[in-house]
Structure 1
Amino acid sequence: MITLPRIMLAALVVIGSYVFVVAPRVDAYTNPSAQWSPQVVEPRPTFTLEPPVPGRRPQGFPDAGTAFFGIFTEKGPGDLTDYNGFVQAAGKGPQVMMFASGWGAQKHFDRQPFDRIVNRGMLPMLGWEPWDYRAESKTDKDRGTQPQYRLSRIAGGAFDAYITEWAKGIKDLGYPVAIRFAHEMNGYWYPWCESANGNQRGDYVAAWRHVHDLFAKLGTKNVIWVWSPNVVYENATPLSQLYPGDDYVDWVGLSGYYGTAGMETYQTFDQIYRPTLAELKRISQRPIVVTETAATDAQGRKAEWITDFLRSLPKHPEIIGFLWYESIKETDWRIAATPAASSAFAQGVAQPYYTARWSPDMVPRTTLPSTASASATPSASASRSN
């Protein structure tokens, strides 16, 4: 998440052949009342999951040869204003919706936001964040300092009761949920980054595996585990040092924006993503999801970037979907912000490649096209728990 102090810090390091591109601060959890209002009571989903038929291969999500698109908003499922504007601008609805939940503020599991997303035909993706955003430092270099949430404490069992409550709650939902746990760990701006908060090398993998194993021990099989770094930049923690392994990950996520603060010079899809995609190819065989992306219009090239982005994804079959950050934060990231951006996005997702649909009985794709023998395989989490 980029801020002016971070730009000043980045200026002190030598930039390589690509530009240091990080995600903007999208603290969707800074206003938890906007995330979910106690007055909103969402009915439980009414679908019925059919038992598997012997010999019949379940349909994959997304199906082979397609990609999904999703949405992430500042206010989450508690306020669907930006979601509604996004659907209108795109000309059709997304298949995934992500919302954030911080451990320090959201003390107990609540199924309401999950149900609200599923009732609108989307896979819920939980951005699960082990910190207290309310105690966040306003000094950028200290933002990742919260000793209570040190990775060694997570791995050591200090939060086991909390994790267990959420694991049981998600299990009881009865439909799939993607969990993007402790994202952008290769940076320095969160307490779970190995370069921050007194964490040591190896602590991130230990914490990830501990959380994952608690879910597996409780038989919570309906989770798609999303490991989601930031696009690589000079002096970032190496991804190979942070990857828990394919046995602990179902999808690899990725944050990458065009036009974060102070970096409005136009950058193509390849300039932003290619170095990271090359690095990921060396450490993981899991499909990739761009879990956060958006574009600025500071130079009047937002529509151009959207067109380039949506034309580039089909050239990368390892990328099975993306989520757009549809909110006003540092700038107006919304596709609904201008007719040109709306038109570019609508035309882009009208391509046959973006015809994925989601339903609760679909099985997430967890293998790359080059290694997949079918369009769908059981999720890694499910197979490990059997």
Structure 2
Amino acid sequence: MKNVKSITVTTSLIFVLAFAACKKSGTQNSSPDEQTVALSAGRGVPLVPASGALLGHYYGNGTITETDARIGRRPAIHLTYYSWTDHWSKSIPTKQDLAEGRIPLINWEPYNVKFKDIVSGKYDTQIRLQADEAKAIGRQFFLDFAAEMNGDEAWGDHNPDLYVKTFRHIHDIFIARGATNAVWVWCPNNADEPGTPAVMQYYPGNAYVDWVGADGYNWGTSDSDDEWETFYQVFEDIYSKISVTGKPMMIGEMASDEIGGDKAKWISQIVPTLKEKFPAIKAVVWFDVVKERHWQINSSQTTLNAYRAMAKNPYFN
């Protein structure tokens, strides 16, 4: 989604609840360290749940308290957005997420910076500082750099070779500085921008990526150029392309409009589709905000009821 950071600053600064991760016994209120162990147990990739998938949220439609009251539970992942020079490891949202047991999903957006300058080393001092700050927090978190590179965000001007070099350059600095708690997410758009290189040309490689992902939306029929798509239809094509990496997958952003179909039904199909069609998807994040469309989970009462039921499904617990 374009220009998200402008709507993130206020809503992402308000935190008043704690996320309680499930212990092996099935009880709640495990510590943050226990949460990480439980999520990573028996897996070669960090933060992969032992079963089912993690539910995440972008809080653009009210405070965390208000939103979680609507949902009826506490999502495991909190999506926030930061610009190129932001010190996201030291931000209030990141600190409170870590203190309260949520997993930060840092969407790092390199606006107003040329990728060739990153690769040349021009920003290495800044990147080293950000890596050191990330290491200092001492906890695992998701780091999603330059998402939707194959879409209209066009990071690196749709130059896959430059994008890959940039991603690897930043990754290598983090590793060299010991910031191994950053869990690297590569998250393209669910569809390529017309006339641009195919999505997998942007893939940095398995040695540089921990999770693969995709952002996708059902745009409804508010625009005559769009048509209603089910949850399966939104992600069917990109799933088949990126699942070949063998990495756990994340839906980094998703939502549906109300116009053109049954949004409540759209939501009710998510868990069955994950189970039957998309087993590699281990996390999904809802983009809860009124923006280009009515993406919010309470755009109608029937929609909210469907979302609450989905969020309480054992697959997300």
TM-score between both structures, scaled by the size of structure 2:
0.83
**How far has the Cα of 1:130 moved from its partner?**
0.9
User: Is 1:91 matched with 2:72?
Assistant: yes
Q: Residues of 2 paired with 1:107 and 1:90: CA distance?
A: 30
**How far has the Cα of 1:35 moved from its partner?**
5.8
Distance 1:167 1:308, change over 3 A: same
RCO higher in 1 or 2 (8 Å CA, sep ≥ 6)? Answer: 1
- The one-letter amino acid of 2:84's match is W
Equivalent residue runs for 1:341-356 within 5 Å: 341-355=303-317
Q: Which residue matches 2:52?
A: 66
- The one-letter amino acid of 1:66's match is G
Q: Which residue matches 1:309?
A: 270
Distance 1:176 1:255, change over 3 A: same
- The one-letter amino acid of 1:90's match is I
- The one-letter amino acid of 1:253's match is G
Alignment partner of 2:197 out of 229, 237, 247:
237
Q: Which residue matches 1:28?
A: 4
Contact 1:68 / 1:354 at 8 angstroms: preserved in 2? yes
Q: Residues of 2 paired with 1:48 and 1:298: CA distance?
A: 40
Alignment partner of 1:334 out of 296, 299, 302:
296
Equivalent residue runs for 1:264-343 within 5 Å: 265-282=227-244, 284-315=245-276, 316-343=278-305
Contact 2:213 / 2:251 at 8 angstroms: preserved in 1? yes
User: Is 1:246 matched with 2:206?
Assistant: yes
Equivalent residues, number: 295
Contact 2:108 / 2:144 at 8 angstroms: preserved in 1? yes
User: Is 1:130 matched with 2:110?
Assistant: yes
Query: What secondary structure sits across from 1:119 in the alignment?
Result: helix
RMSD, aligned α-carbons: 2.9
Distance 1:169 1:112, change over 3 A: same
Distance 1:35 1:207, change over 3 A: farther
Alignment partner of 1:209 out of 151, 165, 168:
168
Alignment partner of 2:218 out of 253, 258, 264:
258
Distance 1:101 1:242, change over 3 A: same
**How far has the Cα of 1:294 moved from its partner?**
0.4
Query: What secondary structure sits across from 1:336 in the alignment?
Result: coil
Query: What secondary structure sits across from 1:304 in the alignment?
Result: helix
Query: What secondary structure sits across from 1:294 in the alignment?
Result: strand
Distance 1:330 1:236, change over 3 A: same
**How far has the Cα of 1:308 moved from its partner?**
1.6
**How far has the Cα of 1:265 moved from its partner?**
2.6
User: Structure 1 vs Structure 2: percent identity of aligned residues?
Assistant: 26
**How far has the Cα of 1:116 moved from its partner?**
1.4
Distance 1:330 1:102, change over 3 A: same
- The one-letter amino acid of 2:247's match is R
Q: Which residue matches 2:20?
A: none
Distance 1:88 1:305, change over 3 A: same
Bigger Cα displacement from structure 2, 298-307 vs 247-256:
298-307
Segments of structure 1 that go 5 or more residues without pairing to the other structure are 2-24, 75-79, 133-148, 356-386
Q: Which residue matches 2:150?
A: 186
Which portions of structure 1, spanning 4 or more consecutive aligned residues, are displaced by more than 6 angstroms?
39-42
Larger radius of gyration: 1
Query: What secondary structure sits across from 2:207 in the alignment?
Result: helix
Q: Residues of 2 paired with 1:304 and 1:320: CA distance?
A: 21
Deviations 1:276-305 (A, max 9, x none): 1111133x1111100000010113521111
Q: Which residue matches 2:179?
A: 220
Q: Residues of 1 paired with 2:115 and 2:147: CA distance?
A: 13
Distance 1:274 1:48, change over 3 A: closer
Alignment partner of 2:115 out of 144, 151, 157:
151
